[in-house]
Structure 1
Amino acid sequence: MMSLHPKIIDLTLDRVWRLLAAVDNPQDRLPPVIHLAGTNGKGSTQAMLRAGLEGAGQRVHAYTSPHLSRFHERIMLAGKLISEAALTEVLDRCYAANGGENITYFEITTVAGLMAFAETPGDYTLLETGLGGRLDATNVVEKPALTVITPISIDHTQFLGETLTEIAGEKAGILKRGVACVVGPQPDEALEVIEARAARLGCPLFVYGQHWHMWEERGRLIFQDENGLLDLPLPALIGPHQIENAGAAIAALRVLGCDEAACEAAMRDVTWPARMQRLKTGPLVDAAGTAELWLDGGHNPAAGETLAKVLGDLPKRPTHLICGMLNTKDITGYLRPLAQVADSLTAVSIPDEMNTLPAEETAEHARAVGLTAQEAPSVAQALAALVTAEPQARILICGSLYLAGNILRENG
């Protein structure tokens, strides 16, 4: 399949439409679709939505990317990861139907996911965009039940545009005529773009700060919309940014007609690896000894700001970063807020990743924003040096979902 990949990725739906037609248009036979786009938080929001719907007794299909440790994570069928046999079978059919034509890895695997969803009984299908929205391979459902746009910020500028306005235009491309959209907290210029497109298409909007509000109060999540007030547990995912994501998930559940019990399940039962995840078992944890070990896959400036807030709110401990990033990311924008809360950074290259930023360059960028920085050949060696010097430290492995996936595989 990888040999079919075009030499240059051009965002277009032509290849997807061709392959969908060859496999009898599974996008037209899906259980009701909830389509999510956004720069940050769409994965966490989708995970909460899934927990809420499953808490209400619904069978939920979910499509997400990228995967962390196994490709199967991308395709969840009625609450369970797709099996090896089912995945192999549906990919074989896609490969045969494609007839050797150029197609990207994401496009052909998205079509495979849509086939699996169409052929498995379910009550809802959650589709998370991979990149942008307007020309994303998931943007092929004519009439979803609901769309959701989580916070938009600068990322993937080589594909989506240099400004928030341009990027918001791409994300807002998932809006469909007459279909309601839940909108999470947005910069003003992004919200203006979404509202203008919604007005053209007659999409009812449910916008944070206008139609719904959420806040933390005395260790509880308070959500309010025109239907009343909900007093809920805080989300099981850590960090103040998860309050925003929770708000979008609850707003979506309310639009879908779910009750308070479903909203409670969304907060209580959600799991989402490598999003400020405390590692508690495994060989890396054993090697950390009495140090705290955390993992996060955020990789853009907004994620850096969010992580800095999370770390700042935790009980005070010496805090050290082990960081590996891709060479396509704004590393300075990511590290600048973290320099305010971290005591040091150890740079690593991401194993087996062609587009990794070399460790020495990551370290240079870290020093440029005021972080004490050094390099290590591997995460394990970086960890060993840090815990030897400071056994009670808080250590965060961060900078890339690809690095996070590698850690989850290593750590079992």
Structure 2
Amino acid sequence: MKDFGRSDDPRVQAQLDRLAALSLPQGRLGLETMRALMERLGNPHRSLPPVFHVAGTNGKGSTCAFLRAMLEAEGYRVHVTTSPHLVRYNERIRIAGELISDEALAELLEEVLDAGSDLAPSFFEVTVAAAFLAFSRTPADACVVEVGLGGRFDATNVLEAEALAACGIASLGIDHERFLLVPEDGVPQEPIARIAFEKAGIAKPGVPLVTLDYATAPSKAVIDQAMTAGARPALRGLDWHSAADEGGLHYSDRHGSLNLPQPGMPGPHQPINAALAVAMLRHQQLVSVSPESMASGLGSASWPARLHRLEQGPLTGAREVWLDGGHNPNAAAMLAAHFQGQKLHLVIGMIEGKDPQGFVETLGAIPLSTTVVPVPTHEWFGADAFCPVATFADDVPAALDALPDDGVPVLIAGSLYLAGEVLRLNDELPD
């Protein structure tokens, strides 16, 4: 799977080519390589501003976007690392509010790759190391760090308690099964409980572990992990509460109640992600954020390719086109709830290892038509993997051209890698 991207800057491209040659050695789990790389770089992860560390199957990126927006609304300078990138690798590293420059990125990647040349680090380990190194060298007031995959063995989990303001876990679902459900002694056997166990592996001694409310088995797995780590769990429905209606987002915990506006990002799931971000801020004591800044940040937060209505551009023309990188049944359920009662033309591309049939079945009767397209630079599912009536097009422009001019909106979904290509074709580069 190639998600290293391309760059118009030859200095950056030279380092991305080196990144492209890296892969995770089959069967290697653990943080030993990442810790060794950190040691060679001077342990930059120990010199960071207070970190908000976010895991989850769905919603962790949106939660990070809300955290960043609320912190910045308070006037703080905020470092952010998220994944994957959509169009440019630079999107993975935001330094004090600005995407890393090509010049800084080229130098940073070269330094990290040279330092770890004999360690055989993975693509993501190098990326996280580069982000932490950059963050340690530029003053800021807070960091927002998104887990890449799982939590327990994710490269970001080299973070230690001393650096952390709070850890959070967004919604849980079955995804990345071949990595997160590898047979192992002493772990929960029920799949969703095992997923919860892996996500809660980010728990650290004395650090708040703020979570949503889950079913009994995953909740037990989260609490057990928190207790083992010595973390301070804060569960929705027990330690904090939230509800959303037309009047806004209503939040309460032991500190009191807040009546906040509905988040500006569309989708019935976003009030939950927003509430998780609020709870993370309320359950930590290292960075103070006022209710006014929370309200402002909830309204201004954005997260491209997540229920994103595309602008009129070279790809969309005048047609109403929505873009969402959702690629599992949980994401499909969110889309079904948002578009309930509507009809859409679905254009979808999904990489191998996902559940195309489960995604389409969860969408239900919403698609008026289903067109399957390749996902550039990845192994992808053909039309027959989705549903009997699905058709195939060579790419997204061809899929859109083949649709009738009937005024029915279009939803492009199935992969963040595909979403990045769509943004590029429509000249909407994330900034």
TM exceeding 0.5: yes
* Residue in 2 that maps onto 1:354: 378
**Residues 102-181 of structure 1 mapped to structure 2, 5 A cutoff:** 102-143=120-161, 144-161=164-181, 163-181=191-209
* One-letter code aligned to 2:375: I
Partners of 1:52 and 1:253 within 8 A in 2: no
Alignment of 1:4-403 (within 5 A): 4-8=22-26, 10-143=28-161, 144-161=164-181, 163-256=191-284, 257-286=288-317, 289=318, 291-312=319-340, 317-351=342-376, 353-357=377-381, 361=382, 363-367=383-387, 372-386=389-403, 389-403=404-418
2:259 alignment partner, SS class: strand
Q: Distance in 2 between matches of 1:218 and 1:3?
A: 50
Aligned residue identity for 1:275: R
Shift of residue 213 of structure 1?
Answer: 1.8
Q: CA deviation digits over 1:124-178, x for unaligned, max 9?
A: 1111110111110000111112100111111111011170111111111100011
How many residues in Structure 1 have an aligned counterpart in Structure 2?
A: 396
Distance 2:365 2:256 in 1: 39
1:7 offset after TM fit, Å?
Answer: 4.7
Per-residue deviation, residues 173-217 of structure 1 (Å, max 9, x unmatched) = 100011111102323211111111222333222211112222222
Cα offset for 1:390? 3.7
Structure 2: stretches of 5+ with no match in the other structure: 1-17, 183-190
Comparing 76-85 with 8-17, greater Cα deviation is found at 8-17
CA distance in 1, matches of 2:322, 2:151: 31
Once the 2 structures are TM-superposed, how far is the Cα of residue 340 of structure 1 from its aligned partner? Answer: 2.6
Query: Is the 2:241–2:251 contact (alpha carbons within 8 Å) kept by the matching residues of 1?
Result: yes
Query: 1:9 Cα deviation (Å)?
Result: 5.8
| Cα distance in 1, alignment partners of residues 245 and 28 from structure 2 | 46
Listed one character per residue, the Cα deviations across residues 64-95 of structure 1 (whole Å, up to 9, x for unaligned) are 00000000110011111011111111111111
The equivalent of 2:13 in structure 1 is: none
Conserved 8 A contact 1:33-1:145? yes
In structure 2, how many angstroms separate the alpha carbons of the residues matched to 1:192 and 1:255?
Answer: 21
| Aligned amino acid, residue 340 of structure 1 | A
Q: Deviations over 1:74-121 (max 9, x none)?
A: 001111101111111111111111134311111111101110000010
The structural deviation recorded for 1:280 is 1.6
Residue 317 of structure 1 contacts residue 394 of structure 1 at CA under 8 Å; is this kept in 2? no
In structure 2, what is the Cα distance between the partners aligned to 1:346 and 1:265?
Answer: 39
CA distance in 1, matches of 2:245, 2:364: 29
> 1:219 Cα shift?
4.3
The 8 Å contact of residues 53 and 146 in structure 2, kept in 1 or not, is answered as yes
Off by >6 Å, runs of 4+ in structure 1: none
Measured in 1, the distance between the counterparts of 2:342 and 2:167 equals: 41
Per the alignment, residue 407 of structure 1 pairs with: 422
1:367 & 1:258 partners in 2: Cα distance? 48
Equivalent AA in structure 2 for residue 376 of structure 1: A
Preserved CA contact (<8 Å) 1:318 1:392: no
1:4–1:101 Cα contact (<8 Å) kept: no
Distance in structure 2 (CA, Å) of the matches to 1:309 and 1:381: 28
**CA distance, structure 2, for counterparts of residue 55 and residue 40 of structure 1:** 25
The structural deviation recorded for 1:302 is 0.7
Distance 1:30 1:101 in 2: 24
**Letter paired with 1:103:** P
Show CA shifts across 1:255-284 (max 9, x none). Answer: 244221121022111010000100023212
- Do the aligned residues in 1 keep the contact of 2:356 with 2:385 (CA within 8 Å)? yes
- For residues 77 and 142 of structure 2, the distance between their equivalents in structure 1, rounded to whole angstroms, comes to 7
Give the partner amino acid of 1:397.
I
TM-superposed deviation, 1:6: 4.4
Cα displacement string for residues 287-346 of structure 1 (whole angstroms, at most 9, x for unaligned residues): xx2x3100000111111111111111xxx5531100000011111221111133222211
3-state SS of the aligned residue for 2:251? Answer: strand
1:279 and 1:324 mapped to 2: Cα distance? 17
Q: Counterparts of 2:74 and 2:179 in 1: how far apart (Å)? A: 38
Kept after mapping to 1: 8 A contact 2:342/2:366: no
* 1:156–1:90 Cα change, 3 Å: same
Alignment partners' CA distance in 2, 1:181 and 1:285: 42
Give, as a single letter, the amino acid of the residue that structure 2 aligns with 1:258. V
Deviation of residue 381 (structure 1)? 1.4
